[in-house]
Amino acid sequence: MKQHDAMYIDGSWRPAAGGGTIEVVNPADEQVIATVPAGSAADVDAAVHAARAALPGWAATPPGERADRLAALHGRLTARADEIAGTVTAELGAPLAFSQAVHAGVPLAVCASYAELARTYAFEEKIGNSTVLHEPVGVVGAITPWNYPLHQIVAKVAPALAAGCTVVLKPAEDTPLVARLFAECVDEAGIPAGVFNLVTGLGPVAGQALAAHEGVDLVSFTGSTAVGRRIGALAGAEVKRVALELGGKSANVILPGADLARAVAVGVANVMANSGQTCSAWTRMLVHKDSYAEAVELAAAAAAKYVPGERVGPLVNARQQGRVRGYIEQGIAQGARVVAGGPEALEGPGYYVRPTVFADVTPEMGIAQEEIFGPVLALLEYEDEDDAVRIANGTVYGLAGAVWAGDDATAAAFARRLDTGQVDINGGRFNPLAPFGGYKQSGIGRELGPHGLTEYLQTKSLQF
């Protein structure tokens, strides 16, 4: 077991102000693999002061030079990609192949995109008799979740640095080890002292101290809607900017004429990826009444291929495991029919949950309304397109979704009716340059690509 005792603040590793520690547990075998410092308000304060002091110099650094540092960071992350994948597998439990392709691969693509954007973005523009300057918003407090631990870090830190902001990062307490690895890469990339700072700690302590700190100009948070509300209230009291990427209950709508077998198979794979711990997962599959029975059979067969410990990993911790099994029990109690999986415990160690598919789900059920954050899929039947739109839009969330049809035009026309921030058309691929974020209670603001960069900029108009 590794015992870490330092924070990365002002360009060096320094001991934490307090003596508290956080145990990092491998969710596949429930063994403690490391400890990290439980940062205090004093640690957060030191990090914010370092970021504040570094801000003028970094903001004045030409964008091309900031791009060079981000390119160097990309190079260091690339060199340590295998170590990144292994670290995420150890602290999150994701199968190694998934960690290599997604947990390491996606952040590399995002980092590279911001190295390029820092070089090419128009930080000045002419509008009539005005010159409009796009300037960094200032010190960013980034609070990231455990489900995609490095991706969520890079999706905040890279655009903030590209914009000329400085950052204090508070990663999730379940997955702090890859955040430490990221800080090492920042250091190796030659990014100036104080531009990036890392404080590990608990959300109610270090996270709250960071969100409430008067020296932070923008809080960027990814996590639950409940915590997002609290952070929004804290920031609002100080008229501080926020970017919130919160929960989801995304609909996968299969229209008549679609390739049903492919749509169901891809839909099940989407929900089972990362053990269902994905805010944008298509956890509601909507199928026309004429194809519903066939879709249920296809989904049950597809889910049976996801063997815990092989194709699907554990949940992140015991609390999450209990929460997801509780939702499965609630679904049964409310009248839904289990066609794959179920709430029963699995033998052996690890926070595993059986990949579960529900049929006979109605829109008002808890499993059709609330974010479960586990490998649980609900199949709902609809009468016609208007009914499908009503069901798909009938939650407080609006983060992502999918539409399948016999042709792209039909699917796209339906997608325009959905109240959600991102829709995949007939299996369209993830695009790291497209804006990601939600409608309604799924959040405020966007991440990724040029839209993600603008979150960290503010405008100044010079009239001539």
- Among residues 30, 116, 124, 245, the one annotated as catalytic is 245
- C-alpha to C-alpha distance for 380 and 257, rounded to whole angstroms: 18
Pairing of strands 6-9, 12-15: antiparallel
- The residue behind tokens 């949940």 is 315
Active site residue 245: yes
The amino acid present at 28, given as its one-letter code, is A
**Do residues 13 and 3 lie in contact, with contact meaning Cβ atoms separated by under 8 Å?**
no
In whole angstroms, how large is the CA radius of gyration of the chain? 22
**Do residues 257 and 403 lie in contact, with contact meaning Cβ atoms separated by under 8 Å?**
no
Count CB neighbours of 5 within 10 A.
13
- C-alpha to C-alpha distance for 291 and 302, rounded to whole angstroms: 16
Pairing of strands 284-288, 376-382: parallel
- The residue behind tokens 């077991």 is 1
- Residue 134 φ/ψ, nearest 5 degrees: -105, 105
- Residue 200 φ/ψ, nearest 5 degrees: -85, 150
Active site residues: 245
